[in-house]
Amino acid sequence: MNGQRMICSFVIVFLLLLPGCLSMDSISEDENVVEKIELNIWHSFAAESKEQATFESKISLFMSSNPGVEVQISAVPYPEADQQFMIAAQGGEAPDLVRLSSDQLGKIGDIRVGGQPLLEDLRPHTTPIDRSKFDPRALNAMRYEGELLGIPASQDCLSLLYNPILFDSAGIDYPDENWTLDDMLIAAKELTSGDVNGLALPVKNAYWWFGFQAGFGGSLFDMNGTPTLDSNGSAEAMDWMLDLELNHSVVETGTQTESMKTQFLSSKAAMIVDGPWNWATYEAGRIPLQQTLLPMVSETGERVAPLVTYKGWSVSKQSLNKEWATHLALFLSSSEVQKEFAIETYTMPTHVDLYHDSEITENIVISGFIDQLMEGTPAPTTRAMAMVYDPLVTAFENVYAGKMSSSEALSLADGALESDLEGLS
């Protein structure tokens, strides 16, 4: 009998030592082991900028809140982000998350590697409540052929900025939302004196022309997405812009995007058509700038409606951690993060609740640009939008050099874009 008890005791001890029959303390220790998740993210913020610093601080906050997640950051130049991402994806080395603009999504949307798209459709990874928090225009800009290819984190457009000191010196009233293009031109002529020009903008740059084209009644594409670069009003808008330099001499000859900033920073331009991304630079240069809506076009009764572009976070189709990548994208696009970006860097938010946030509405810079955004023209997320610039560069150069009329140049540009699009099908 005693032998049987000894055998039973031995069996019990042996079983307790088997894997799976450990103490509760040991089980708890195993359950507390967190699986390590690694995410690679590409951003396109300018080096050593406030945007980069704010972004990196938010990544640190995300990791501290999610101790099992390690986020590796890489910077890529904004103009090259889409091309570098496509190259990396074709080599099977795409990051989990990448910052892209709406027109870059249009370029990437049709690309396939091994029959698979490059970007993940985020509809299955987000809820209707998640999506309802964003401005519908911004959310729609992240869609390509119905698929949600990004979470909209910001938006921007051009507006009218001016130096009130130069207006005061000339005894001219400040521009406001009631101004017409005629008022703008009259003021620019009166403000042009000596080495000071009334206005600064790159007259041959298509991005600046888009808003004037809309104000004169033209459009880049019709409802079906067919190019209409030569639509009614488009040539008039091109002539009006080029004449600022060629005929009225209120814009300094040869002004480009960088030289216009230099002119405004050195108080050599009274007005500038520019975006919120340069506001901090002008502030740092101690320019007492102010902002207002772009003018109305008397002939059409429409306001100059600048192109509104959007930037957001997209998840790679190749990511092995799509849920966590989406979680990070939503965090970086959250109301709290967007608010800090807006206040610290004048990055315009896309969260609808921030449009009514007191800290946003009471900030004259942010609220002023939001007012301009509401008057703008959302950029279509299409392959055609990504391809529109090249033919327009040629059109502007031909008209500027006097080789052809604006109508002729835009007609050729429209045909060239349609031909390029047909070559893709």
Measure Cα distances from 273 to 44, 157, 231, 341, 421 in Å. 23, 10, 24, 22, 31
Residues 59, 63, 67, CA angle at the centre, nearest 5°?
175
Mean pLDDT for the stretch of residues 140-156: 97
What is the per-residue pLDDT across 68-113, written as a single tens digit (0 to 9) for each? 999 999 999 999 999 999 999 999 999 999 999 999 999 999 899 9
Q: What is the rounded distance in angstroms from the CA atom of residue 71 to the CA atom of residue 59?
A: 7
Task: Tell whether the model's pLDDT for residue 30 goes beyond 80.
Answer: no
Q: How confident is the model at residue 6 (pLDDT cuts 50, 70, 90)?
A: very low
Mean pLDDT for the stretch of residues 276-305: 95
What is the per-residue pLDDT across 40-73, written as a single tens digit (0 to 9) for each? 999 999 999 999 999 999 999 999 999 999 999 9
Q: Dihedrals φ, ψ of 320, to 5°?
A: -90, -5
Report the b/e string of 118-146 with b at 16+ CB within 10 A.
bbbebeebeeeeebebbbebbbbbbbbee
Mean pLDDT for the stretch of residues 124-146: 97
Residue 217: DSSP 8-state: T
Using the structure block, give the residue that is written with the tokens 């080495």.
Answer: 195
Give 5's strand partners: none
Give 156's strand partners: 309
Task: Tell whether the model's pLDDT for residue 21 goes beyond 50.
Answer: no
Q: What is the rounded distance in angstroms from the CA atom of residue 310 to the CA atom of residue 313?
A: 10
CATH of domain 159-305+388-424: 3.40.190.10
What is the per-residue pLDDT across 325-337, written as a single tens digit (0 to 9) for each? 999 999 999 999 9
Mean pLDDT for the stretch of residues 152-177: 97
Listed in sequence order, the residues at least 6 apart from 127 whose beta carbon sits closer than 8 Å to its beta carbon are none
User: Which range is least confidently modeled, 34-38, 140-144, 204-208, 297-301?
Assistant: 34-38
Higher pLDDT, 31 or 166: 166
Q: Hey, where are the domains in the chain? A: 37-155+311-370, 159-305+388-424
In what helix (H) or strand (E) does residue 355 lie, and over which residues does it extend? none
Q: How confident is the model at residue 24 (pLDDT cuts 50, 70, 90)?
A: very low
Q: What is the rounded distance in angstroms from the CA atom of residue 386 to the CA atom of residue 417?
A: 11
Mean pLDDT for the stretch of residues 12-20: 39
What is the per-residue pLDDT across 169-226, written as a single tens digit (0 to 9) for each? 999 999 999 999 999 999 999 999 999 999 999 999 999 999 999 999 999 999 999 9
> Cα 7 vs. chain centroid, distance in angstroms?
75
DSSP letter string over 163-177? Answer: -HHHHHHHT-PPP-T
The pTM (predicted TM-score) of the whole model is 0.88
Residue 24: DSSP 8-state: H
CATH superfamily of 37-155+311-370: Periplasmic binding protein-like II (3.40.190.10)
Listed in sequence order, the residues at least 6 apart from 296 whose beta carbon sits closer than 8 Å to its beta carbon are 178, 179, 180, 181, 215, 302, 303, 304
Q: How confident is the model at residue 34 (pLDDT cuts 50, 70, 90)?
A: low
User: What is the chain's mean pLDDT, rounded?
Assistant: 92
Q: Dihedrals φ, ψ of 117, to 5°?
A: -65, 165
Using the structure block, give the residue that is written with the tokens 């059109």.
Answer: 395
